[in-house]
Amino acid sequence: MYKSQPGLPIGAGVAGAMAGLLVPDRLVPRMAPAAILRPASLLALAGLGTLLLARSGPAAAAALFVTGLGASAWYPVASGEIYRLLPGRSGAVHALSVLLVTPVSLTVPPLVGLVANGHGILAGMAVLAAAPLLAMAVLPPRLRLGPTPPP
């Protein structure tokens, strides 16, 4: 990618993800999950778009920081909402998480690689960009409504 600074963009992406994990904890009690997931998805999408335009290591690092910042909120916010919808059923929530997340984790990286190998890096990035768009599109109607009710 950027031979002079290969670790900087990846490190920035991880730092963005770590920083992004702190934000939902403070917002969830005051906002509906959709009010967190939509902006987070748009942030991740903006980061991916910026990454495509990056022509230097520092620019790629900034783009990956933004991508990590946005994408890191998806799993904890969605998991928290599932736990809220299924109180006292932590085993079912965990099983549901494993059933939904594991196939995605196993299929998306090879799919991105196959698309990028056959059609170029821009096509591979388009597959990655589908994730935040899909996250916004599949929000159940219940999550699209107002703030989370108090416990």
Is the residue at 115 inside a domain?
yes
Residue 1 resides in a domain: no
- Count of beta carbons in the 10 Å neighbourhood of residue 141: 7
Query: Quick one: pLDDT band at residue 145, thresholds 50, 70, 90?
Result: very low
The proportion of the chain whose per-residue pLDDT surpasses 70, expressed as a percent, equals: 85
- Torsions phi, psi of 86, nearest 5? -125, 65
Distance, C-alpha 45 to centroid of its chain:
9
Domain annotation covers residue 150: no
130 is in which domain, residue-wise? 7-140
Pairwise CA distance, residues 74 & 19, whole Å: 13
Domain count, the chain: 1
Indicate the pTM of the whole model. Answer: 0.73
Higher pLDDT, residue 9 or 115: 115
